[in-house]
Structure 1
Amino acid sequence: MSSTPALIDRFGRKVTYVRLSITDRCDFRCVYCMGEDMEFLPREEILSLEECGRIVRAFVDLGVSKVRITGGEPMVRKDALKLFQDIGHLEGLHELTLTTNGSQLARYAKDLREAGVKRVNISLDSLDDQTFKRITRVGELDKVMAGIQAAKEAGFDNIKLNTVMMRGINDHELTDLVDFAIGGELDISFIEEMPLGEVDHSRANSWFSNDETLRLLKEQYDLLPSAETTGGPAKYWRVAGTRTKIGFISPHSHNFCEDCNRVRVTCKGELYLCLGQEDKVDLMHILRSGQDDDALRQAIIDAMQIKPKGHDFDIRRAQPSVVRFMSMTGG
């Protein structure tokens, strides 16, 4: 191996960030993420926690410095905490983060922080019980609020709320959500709904652009453009006089593919080179066919040559741009 390993794709982009899903299961059924009646994978088709750890080590060996654990909802996976404890203090891994719906944080926040998780992103699409239930179908807002409080008490370096704004569903809560973030000294990012998987609502009608979100927020808040980054695709603005920054992840209105530094690994061990394309490499086969870590690293290196230039999302299409649900790739 090179003394200065790096994953470089055909377009000269350096991959330093991996999002690893450890389960396709979730205790919510968010309308933009999965169907109401999902069929989840049998246990034998999902990476073991030991295999997850092996994959993380291979990527870190190749220069990846940031790993985000996702799901489904990662904390519904039995013994998930063991994975965080296993990889949380790897040399070369500068940032271990978690994306969660918050439902399990009241139980796990303190242990996750001790295991080495530095930041958490918590999905929160509504502050109203009925709207929250409409979006999540089965979620309980009280549990998420308790989870946010537990995360604050655990002392993470940063806590960020993630909100998918949908016209006619939760767009009336735009400023309420920002005020909640400001009051709690949290950050918040608005994410444009992505056309992944079949859903039971019209995305063309519900889609809410981040350009509109930003315009509306500028009418209510003094926003200062910021060059800050967390290593992902969000573009940030600071709310003057507060500790809160507002991020915008805009896969439709402002394609961020040019400087993409990310790849995703599903809970099936599929290495996806782009969220919005189908190019992938089967890492589970390597793990379960007796091949060594050199073979695993080489497969990852070779995969960089099929990383596409970008995605091609079009919210106006009758069919989704990608047929797999967001929960299948990793949230």
Structure 2
Amino acid sequence: MTKEISFARLSSLTRTWLEAGGQPTVELAAMEPTLWQDSGRSILDVIQLFAGAGYQVNLTTNGSTLTQYAAALAQSPVNKLRISWHSLDRKVYENITRGDYRTFLLGVRQAEKYGLPLCYNRILFHGLTDDIHQHLDIVDRQRSRIKFLELYITEQNKLHFGSYHTRIDEFLKIVESYPGIRREEDFTPGYATRSRYVWRTPNGGRVEFKVAETCKKLPVCASCPYNKDCTEGFGEYFRVLPNGKAAFCYLRNDFDLPLFKGDAPDFPGLARQLEKTAGLEFDTWVKKRSLRLILTTHCNYNCSLPHGEAIFCLGKRFRNL
């Protein structure tokens, strides 16, 4: 059964998150946020709600609904539109997403036509990197951005992880052989536990790579059975889930903590739970964090490893809330 964060809860969050000390940035990401609905309201209403409260609003989408939303999003105050684009090869793309590549490409072209602030996310798969230079051509022409990410290990894909994980040296060799690309200074966002490598294409496109091996973990991670394989430190992101809980770990749902009392977030109560559960001092931690909202448990894609062996995305984690 699909669950959605209600508009009433979202309205309460716009004020209480800032009062708690959080950053005025909201990421609408994971599952497919453009499918969110509540009493006739759509993703456009969510964007307007947070932007009207002074937030910078970033939207991550699989691109499947851009033919419907591109024109309206261009008129909205969205700051960044991040599109997940894991391959330029139609067959590979469709094997991964189970989506229609022609519809996806039409949506991307619509987004470019309307001048949306485009960014791309791409998961790296070993043996399926021959089109990276073509992807960089697009970024260079558009002067847009692309962020490459290492494959996350999950319970579902761990048996096949080694076959598809791309080594850093393999990726660096490909990117740094792109004509005219130049390396910039590495950086770590204030909220992050991982560093990023950064390059500029000749025409000003931006290329990033999240470096999993630089992940800095908290003491709470030391006894975790996933510690060796986890690529995201505890509390790197503050995810608000459709069931009203706050998530601090992408692999474990036993760290999900109740956030709402009715429609109102209870941040003092969450702070007490967080300190008791993980020894994390909320008032200091929250000052560097943005909101990351998983608006719905629904996604119209079912992203799997390229030959269908197992799901690689976090859909299973969030679908069954």
Alignment partner for residue 165 of structure 2, among 199, 207, 210? 207
After superposition, residues 57-136 of structure 1 pair within 5 angstroms as 57-64=15-22, 65-78=24-37, 79-91=42-54, 93=55, 95-136=56-97
Question: Which position in structure 2 is the counterpart of 1:245?
Answer: 206
Question: Which position in structure 1 is the counterpart of 2:268?
Answer: 298
How far off its partner does 1:107 sit? 1.9
How far off its partner does 1:201 sit? 6.8
After superposition, the C-alpha distances for 1:115-140 in whole angstroms (9 at most, x for unaligned) are 3210011000111111111111x211
How far off its partner does 1:69 sit? 0.5
Question: Which position in structure 2 is the counterpart of 1:175?
Answer: 133
Relative to structure 1, the CA distance from residue 227 to residue 195 in structure 2 (aligned partners, 3 Å threshold; closer, same or farther) is closer
After superposition, residues 11-22 of structure 1 pair within 5 angstroms as none
Relative to structure 1, the CA distance from residue 208 to residue 145 in structure 2 (aligned partners, 3 Å threshold; closer, same or farther) is same
Normalised by the length of structure 2, the TM-score is 0.71
| Structure 1 counterpart of 2:241, one-letter code | T
Conserved 8 A contact 2:57-2:80: yes
The DSSP-based 3-state class of the residue aligned with 2:99 is: coil
Q: For residues 188 and 97 of structure 1, what CA distance do their matches in structure 2 show?
A: 15
Alignment partner for residue 185 of structure 1, among 143, 165, 168? 143
Relative to structure 1, the CA distance from residue 328 to residue 97 in structure 2 (aligned partners, 3 Å threshold; closer, same or farther) is farther
Relative to structure 1, the CA distance from residue 298 to residue 112 in structure 2 (aligned partners, 3 Å threshold; closer, same or farther) is farther
The DSSP-based 3-state class of the residue aligned with 1:50 is: helix
Q: For residues 146 and 44 of structure 2, what CA distance do their matches in structure 1 show?
A: 25
Question: Which position in structure 2 is the counterpart of 1:3?
Answer: none
Alignment partner for residue 267 of structure 1, among 224, 233, 242? 242
Which structure 2 segments of 5+ residues have no match? Answer: 219-232, 281-310
Relative to structure 1, the CA distance from residue 114 to residue 220 in structure 2 (aligned partners, 3 Å threshold; closer, same or farther) is closer
Relative to structure 1, the CA distance from residue 330 to residue 148 in structure 2 (aligned partners, 3 Å threshold; closer, same or farther) is farther
Relative to structure 1, the CA distance from residue 228 to residue 165 in structure 2 (aligned partners, 3 Å threshold; closer, same or farther) is same
After superposition, the C-alpha distances for 1:80-114 in whole angstroms (9 at most, x for unaligned) are 322222222213x2x11011111112221332343
Relative to structure 1, the CA distance from residue 62 to residue 325 in structure 2 (aligned partners, 3 Å threshold; closer, same or farther) is same
Q: For residues 15 and 316 of structure 2, what CA distance do their matches in structure 1 show?
A: 23
Q: For residues 122 and 13 of structure 2, what CA distance do their matches in structure 1 show?
A: 29
Question: Which position in structure 2 is the counterpart of 1:287?
Answer: 262
Q: For residues 82 and 317 of structure 2, what CA distance do their matches in structure 1 show?
A: 17
Identity %: 18
Q: CA RMSD in A?
A: 3.1
Q: For residues 226 and 109 of structure 1, what CA distance do their matches in structure 2 show?
A: 33
Question: Which position in structure 2 is the counterpart of 1:142?
Answer: 102
After superposition, the C-alpha distances for 1:310-331 in whole angstroms (9 at most, x for unaligned) are xxxxxxxxxxxxx996125569
Relative to structure 1, the CA distance from residue 324 to residue 151 in structure 2 (aligned partners, 3 Å threshold; closer, same or farther) is closer
How far off its partner does 1:207 sit? 0.6
Question: Which position in structure 2 is the counterpart of 1:320?
Answer: none
How far off its partner does 1:74 sit? 0.9
Conserved 8 A contact 2:184-2:200: no
How far off its partner does 1:174 sit? 2.1
Q: For residues 207 and 5 of structure 2, what CA distance do their matches in structure 1 show?
A: 35
| Structure 2 counterpart of 1:241, one-letter code | P
After superposition, the C-alpha distances for 1:23-56 in whole angstroms (9 at most, x for unaligned) are xxxxxxxxxxxxxxxxxxx24x542232233234
Q: For residues 113 and 297 of structure 1, what CA distance do their matches in structure 2 show?
A: 34
| Structure 1 counterpart of 2:202, one-letter code | G
| Structure 2 counterpart of 1:255, one-letter code | C
Conserved 8 A contact 2:259-2:267: no
Q: For residues 12 and 124 of structure 2, what CA distance do their matches in structure 1 show?
A: 36
Q: For residues 308 and 152 of structure 1, what CA distance do their matches in structure 2 show?
A: 45
Relative to structure 1, the CA distance from residue 303 to residue 264 in structure 2 (aligned partners, 3 Å threshold; closer, same or farther) is farther
| Structure 2 counterpart of 1:225, one-letter code | E
After superposition, the C-alpha distances for 1:234-263 in whole angstroms (9 at most, x for unaligned) are 624233422111111233x33155896531
| Structure 2 counterpart of 1:123, one-letter code | S
After superposition, residues 221-260 of structure 1 pair within 5 angstroms as 221=179, 222-226=181-185, 235-251=196-212, 253-255=213-215, 257=217
Count of residue correspondences:
264
Which structure 1 segments of 5+ residues have no match? Answer: 1-41, 310-322
